[in-house]
Amino acid sequence: MNTNQPDSAVDPGVGLSVDGAVATVLLDRPDVRNAQHPAMWAAIAGFLESLPDEVRVVVVRGAGGTFSAGLDLSLVDPGQTEVEGSLVATLARSDQEVVDLIGEYQRPFVALADPRFISIAVVDGYAIGAGFQLALACDLRIMAEDAWVCMKEPALGLVPDLAGTKPLVEAVGYSRALEICATARKVGAEEAGRIGLAQSVVPRAQLDSTLADLVASLVAHDATAVRRTHELLAAASGRSLDEQRLAERTAQVGRLRAVLGR
């Protein structure tokens, strides 16, 4: 299944497809290093929010050897306010309206955390700013060994605002997350693997085979058992031990009945 976005006024620049249990989001603006813009976010959000139940894995990757160079910088260029989605033009609105609009932009980043499926970012080249945040929105990250990530926003006088701060802190801890953001430095794949940002770091030529092996492993077991386990793990950091224990045993009753047929 290929999904077009006929309602979008501008080309979203993203390929959206489903093949059995695997959906793929392909950022496809290689001429601008897969820079992101609101039409792209709307297309990805609409796609993820309406995925069929049989989809168990969502793969996010970029065309042309890079993941994403982040926000399309034409959107923050004061000289290009006529560009569709210009954030400069957006600032004519009230603060609350801008807050609400950014909430809309955050939709695909939130949708990638849906425990109905396991999301995997395949990071080739680099993932900068919104690109890094998109990779962070995924449950798992595979990186090419020469790839890097960078939370560039503070270097531009901005903050990371696409739902990336929470998964970053949860992946690497508060102090390392602060250091990575405040310095806006490049984090190479070797370090990313060492500090828990990437679950696999492989030679670029092995990205596809590594992804295929991971997907096969992720869909090998009962879909409901994996989903319930995913839900438990995703909610764990926001719960007390007693709340988590209750969630575990509640989920297990349903699983025991399903497995044992009672």
> Which lies closer to ligand CAA via its Cβ, residue 71 or residue 122?
71
Q: Give the tokens for residue 132.
A: 């890094």
Smallest distance from ligand CAA to CB 66, Å: 7
* Start-to-end CA span in the chain (Å): 38
Smallest distance from ligand CAA to CB 132, Å: 8
Select from 32-40, 77-85, 227-235, 252-260 the region that touches ligand CAA (CB under 6 A): 32-40
Residue of 64, 17, 4, 57 whose CA lies nearest to 223: 57
Select from 30-38, 53-61, 135-143, 238-246 the region that touches ligand CAA (CB under 6 A): 30-38
Residue of 142, 163, 167 whose CA lies nearest to 218: 142
CB 69 within 8 A of CB 32: yes
Select from 49-57, 114-122, 128-136, 240-248 the region that touches ligand CAA (CB under 6 A): 128-136
Residues 144-203, interacting with ligand CAA (CB under 6 A): 152-153, 156, 158, 161
Smallest distance from ligand CAA to CB 58, Å: 21
Measured at the alpha carbon of residue 128, what is the angle toward residues 135 and 163, in degrees to the nearest 5?
50
Count of residues touching ligand CAA (by CB under 6 A): 17
**Residue 178, amino acid:** L
| Residue appearing with tokens 């425990």 | 115
Burial of 136 (0-12, 13-18, 19+ CB in 10 A): buried
Rounded CA-CA distance 102/106 in Å is: 6
In the complex, residue closest to ligand CAA by CB: 129
Is 99 one of the binding residues for ligand CAA (CB under 6 A)? Answer: no
CB 67 within 8 A of CB 27: yes
> Which lies closer to ligand CAA via its Cβ, residue 158 or residue 246?
158
Residues 39-98, interacting with ligand CAA (CB under 6 A): 69-74
Q: Report the 10 Å Cβ neighbour count for 209.
A: 10
Q: Give the tokens for residue 170.
A: 């949860």
Helices (H), 112-173: 130-137, 165-172
Q: Which of 14, 127, 130, 142 binds ligand CAA (CB under 6 A)?
A: 130
> Which lies closer to ligand CAA via its Cβ, residue 25 or residue 35?
35
Select from 27-35, 53-61, 135-143, 193-201 the region that touches ligand CAA (CB under 6 A): 27-35
Q: Which of 14, 33, 39, 149 binds ligand CAA (CB under 6 A)?
A: 33
Interface contacts to ligand CAA, rule CB under 6 A: 32-33, 35, 69-74, 128-130, 152-153, 156, 158, 161
